[in-house]
Structure 1
Amino acid sequence: SWALWDLATKYLYLLVTSCSGSPPNFILLFADDLGFGDLGCYGHPTSLTPNLDRLAADGLRFTDFYCTSPVCSPSRASLLTGRYQTRSGVYPGVFYPGSRGGLPLNETTIAEVLKPLGYATAAMGKWHLGLGLNGTFLPTRQGFDYYLGVPYSHDMGPCQNLTCFPPDIKCFGHCDLGVVTIPLMYNEVIKQQPVDFLDLERAYSDFATDFITQSARKKQPFFLYYPSHHTHYPQFAGPAAAGQSRRGPFGDSLLEFDNTVGNLLSSLEQTGVLNNTLILFTSDNGPELMRMSRGGNAGLLKCGKGTTYEGGMREPAIAYWPGIITPGVTHELASTLDILPTLAKLAGAKLPNVQLDGVDMTDILINHGQSKREAMMFYPTDPSESYGLFALRLGKYKAHFYTRGAGHSETTPDHDCHIISLLKPHNPPLLFDLESDPSENYPLSPLGRPDLQALLLRIQAVKEQFEASMEFGESQIEKGIDPNLEPCCTPQCTPKPSCCQCG
């Protein structure tokens, strides 16, 4: 019966994607600083996310899905290129408003893979892969037809005087001072500065609805990339979500993101393209635990943002495609790296002629099959050729060659997560069985265990083979910062940065 089910599913898939003449549409949802334990469908008792829960209930929920970096910019680079951030040079750390560098233009994004097949492409939300001189690194230079959003993180500007919740509740805490206020850009033009947080999500939702509607009207396949600001600090929410969750400001922020997911689903249904659309959801890195209850939750995983422990890089992930993806849960190993080759396979697109680190996970989606991914590599926020990998997961086992805490993961009871937990080499590596010990509490001893000794040799061989294949690209972030590159809608005004206001 399983074999017949597989054949029927594959036939239906081929019927929809090949015979109908309508290539599949793709929507990629990328939450920000959302932890493994933050969604109701991943065990949180009070999160209110009915639309994400719908995707999980009617789609495929991953339990072992990873990003490639415990901070924002490098994780986004890997997602869009299918390559570890070390190859593209998006390291160490993240881009800032005046960064000279960005995702190199010779890197090929998902949008650039799909455009030769006639796809309409749009991005909205947090880009954070560089702005550069005259918008050099904006989405419109990286394969996207349209862009609406903030080109970097929304805490990268003075925020304490801005309203984050109605009627006039100011943003919690303090953001970066001494730089321009946060801009909202349409394509390459600043439409508003500072951004209106209370209206921002509605603007995104309207942008997405228009894009889906226009694409459907033209019978044009589309790719919509939505890297959300939610639930990154400082949290914000407009009138429709503020005060509506049981989890306070963080929960309201998460609910607002979920409301947009609901609006996307409604647009797909109303335009008649829901059944020909694959929706993928995941997050860029783990929760910023230093914000305590305002920073998210990693569930039973160890530590969070900034660390190479599971809480820093194992993410919630959902794949939803009515009639094609059968509801269920998969424990197969998968990564954001795998999204580009998967979408290319489903669309019939050519892969970039470069070293890819992602693998096609179509069989996982369509048949709940086995992963082609053998291992997952863990780089710190500041990778270097001298240190190499901090950790490696092979099958159900994870080996830590180095461990280190991070400021982003302060305040937890576990002192291994804190910034004062300095870099520690481990030889032999710390070894964990993630199926029986996902919290990384109980390292396995290879003494008297020939099976574990053989496993460590295998892990070392995989590590050496991978590192031999890794060519570090020139660091884009070490190119430094030029305050003159900070976006200003009134560029000749004085005094800067306070005079940069419009909209």
Structure 2
Amino acid sequence: MKSAPFLFLLGLLGLVTAQTQDPALLDLLRENPDLLSLLLQSNEHRAPLVKPNVVLLVADHMGSGDLTSYGHPTQEAGFIDKMAAEGLRFTNGYVGDAVCTPSRSAIMTGRLPVRIGTFGETRVFLPWTKTGLPKSELTIAEAMKEAGYATGMVGKWHLGINENSSTDGAHLPFNHGFDFVGHNLPFTNSWSCDDTGLHKDFPDSQRCYLYVNATLVSQPYQHKGLTQLFTDDALGFIEDNHADPFFLYVAFAHMHTSLFSSDDFSCTSRRGRYGDNLLEMHDAVQKIVDKLEENNISENTIIFFISDHGPHREYCEEGGDASIFRGGKSHSWEGGHRIPYIVYWPGTISPGISNEIVTSMDIIATAADLGGTTLPTDRIYDGKSIKDVLLEGSASPHSSFFYYCKDNLMAVRVGKYKAHFRTQRVRSQDEYGLECAGGFPLEDYFDCNDCEGDCVTEHDPPLLFDLHRDPGEAYPLEACGHEDVFLTVKSTVEEHKAALVKGTPLLDSFDHSIVPCCNPANGCICNYVHEPGMPECYQDQVATAARHYRP
């Protein structure tokens, strides 16, 4: 009978040989099993962990048609497109809402915003909102910590700041399971923060803050170099935690306006400013993957790349591209909810294109599944683990998808059919063009940011589309001949509503005294040097916009 130590070494031999395809090394190990212990001690390329690292990359307001890999005709290809080619690119990727705060709450928790309470008369957390993502909600960071992961975050948060004072940071990410929080925007990057001189003469310090963890370090902040700050923090986190499993959340300020890029990327894209921004984000993603490879952990790291919702159509060339889909940000049309969705795991996920339905809410369940932990059973999760979709090519766990605006159910997808109960007005391209000058938006606005009211139309019976034949939602189907579809829609909605417990609305409790302010005596301006100006290649468009701009 073989001894236990021998059998143990034999098992380790099998583990090591399973991780290499070098014939010479395999023969050497088989002939000299005593070398195994020395090999294991000296080998810098450790075998993949049982628990893979998880990296979640989120773009801001990126449309489903913005990437070359998703069909944009003039955007230059970049590293994200390489991930799409070598990973799994989904054509039916969805988010939990079509605006920032509720969508990001769904990403963090795996639950629809209507369950969480991230809705109200306003649609996002503002700097003077007293509430934030409820601590009763389990975030993906908290779930991964329970599974033994280190957790880190950089970039845009937009899930609450303060509660009772301007400095308490009650709702910042470190209170939601993140061990490391680097440079972050607790609110957002918007026109209010423009420091180029195009949209504003001076950024609004009451809306524009840069933090490191819970410390306000710049108010307002310099856009130039911002992506590099986020990226450097992400690289440092990987370096510090590469020996153990980790979860890293990188929420880029790209692509949401105001648009910005460093000197290395300005005037490099034939698409203009938006393309420059996207090329800079490609570069940041490549640096993150390069760091994984440098530490020999790229094949033990699953990367999700998504957007938080569709593009802001009213921003013309600055707003992004929804491809063939109707609508955009704030809409329950496909252009608002359907996003680029790429999953990249070298050596584990086979390259391909999937038409299965997946959602941003699936990421927490999938990460927990891969990390060997389970989610609580005391609440309903709208996200499902898509591990088998990724690894085995299995069918989606989703037979339906619900489109909400605030707490209003606007539409439901059942299989290939989508039924609209309410639709928001969407302008034609010509009408949008009237608000543009040389491709630049003339004002900061939404044509319809409502969930009910004058710009919203109710439909009874519902407006029905076949998304396989008509993904642009241009040709409603007649009720006659589709009676069985309407019955399925009706029963699906009834079942959903019967199990739905709406959260308490969180977005309408305000107190302007809690707005972050680094130095009231200086107009809340700290560590900021105003250097307005646009690269020369943009000057013609800037001049055209300036002649027509309506602030």
Kindly state the Cα deviation for residue 229 of structure 1 after the two structures are TM-superposed.
1.1
Structure-2 separation of matches of 1:444 and 1:278 = 40
Per-residue CA distance 1:446-502 (angstroms, 9 max, x = gap): 21x1xx10111011100111011111111110122x222111223xx326xx23313
Closer, same or farther: CA 410–102 of 1 in aligned 2, 3 Å: farther
State the match for 2:68 in structure 1.
Answer: 40
Q: Which amino acid aligns with 2:486?
A: L
Kindly state the Cα deviation for residue 282 of structure 1 after the two structures are TM-superposed.
0.8
Q: Which amino acid aligns with 1:442?
A: Y
Q: 1:205 aligned to 2:241?
A: no
Structure-2 separation of matches of 1:230 and 1:20 = 32
Q: 1:293 aligned to 2:317?
A: yes
Contact residue 411 and residue 418 of structure 1 kept, 8 A:
no
Structure-2 separation of matches of 1:204 and 1:345 = 28
What is the 5 A alignment of 1:105-144? 105-133=135-163, 134-144=168-178
Q: Which amino acid aligns with 2:337?
A: M
The SS at the match of 1:479 is coil
* Match of residue 373, structure 1, among 384, 395, 398: 398
Q: 1:351 aligned to 2:375?
A: yes
- Counting aligned pairs with the same residue, the percent is 37
State the match for 2:536 in structure 1.
Answer: none
Closer, same or farther: CA 238–320 of 1 in aligned 2, 3 Å: same
Kindly state the Cα deviation for residue 213 of structure 1 after the two structures are TM-superposed.
0.7
Q: Which has the larger Rg? A: 2
Q: 1:26 aligned to 2:59?
A: no
Closer, same or farther: CA 20–153 of 1 in aligned 2, 3 Å: closer
Structure-1 separation of matches of 2:429 and 2:494 = 30
Contact residue 306 and residue 407 of structure 1 kept, 8 A:
no
Per-residue CA distance 1:399-430 (angstroms, 9 max, x = gap): 0011112799994489xx94397221111111
State the match for 1:189 in structure 2.
Answer: 215
Per-residue CA distance 1:312-351 (angstroms, 9 max, x = gap): 1011100000011000000001111111111110111121
State the match for 1:464 in structure 2.
Answer: 494
Structure-2 separation of matches of 1:470 and 1:71 = 21
State the match for 2:438 in structure 1.
Answer: none
Closer, same or farther: CA 408–150 of 1 in aligned 2, 3 Å: farther
Closer, same or farther: CA 227–455 of 1 in aligned 2, 3 Å: same
Q: 1:473 aligned to 2:507?
A: no
Q: 1:501 aligned to 2:531?
A: no
What is the 5 A alignment of 1:298-377? 298-353=322-377, 354-377=379-402
Contact residue 404 and residue 421 of structure 1 kept, 8 A:
no
State the match for 2:116 in structure 1.
Answer: 88
State the match for 2:460 in structure 1.
Answer: 427
Contact residue 100 and residue 479 of structure 1 kept, 8 A:
yes
State the match for 1:230 in structure 2.
Answer: 254
* Match of residue 52, structure 1, among 80, 102, 106: 80
State the match for 1:155 in structure 2.
Answer: 190
* Match of residue 512, structure 2, among 468, 483, 492: 483
Closer, same or farther: CA 454–77 of 1 in aligned 2, 3 Å: same
Gaps of 5+ in 2: 1-14, 20-46, 435-445, 529-551
TM-score, normalising length from structure 2? 0.80
Contact residue 171 and residue 234 of structure 1 kept, 8 A:
no
Structure-1 separation of matches of 2:249 and 2:202 = 27
The SS at the match of 2:141 is helix
Contact residue 316 and residue 433 of structure 2 kept, 8 A:
no
Closer, same or farther: CA 175–33 of 1 in aligned 2, 3 Å: farther
Contact residue 92 and residue 358 of structure 2 kept, 8 A:
yes
Q: 1:392 aligned to 2:412?
A: yes
The SS at the match of 2:380 is coil
Kindly state the Cα deviation for residue 230 of structure 1 after the two structures are TM-superposed.
0.7
Gaps of 5+ in 1: 1-11, 163-169
Contact residue 306 and residue 409 of structure 1 kept, 8 A:
no
The SS at the match of 2:226 is helix
Per-residue CA distance 1:167-223 (angstroms, 9 max, x = gap): xxx15424998652522111101122221211111111110111001111xx11111
Q: Which amino acid aligns with 2:87?
A: G
State the match for 2:4 in structure 1.
Answer: none
State the match for 1:98 in structure 2.
Answer: 128
The SS at the match of 2:356 is coil
Kindly state the Cα deviation for residue 96 of structure 1 after the two structures are TM-superposed.
1.2
Structure-2 separation of matches of 1:121 and 1:300 = 37
Q: 1:274 aligned to 2:298?
A: yes
Contact residue 122 and residue 224 of structure 1 kept, 8 A:
yes
Contact residue 193 and residue 220 of structure 2 kept, 8 A:
no
Closer, same or farther: CA 284–410 of 1 in aligned 2, 3 Å: farther
Note the aligned Cα RMSD (angstroms): 2.4
Q: Which amino acid aligns with 1:137?
A: H
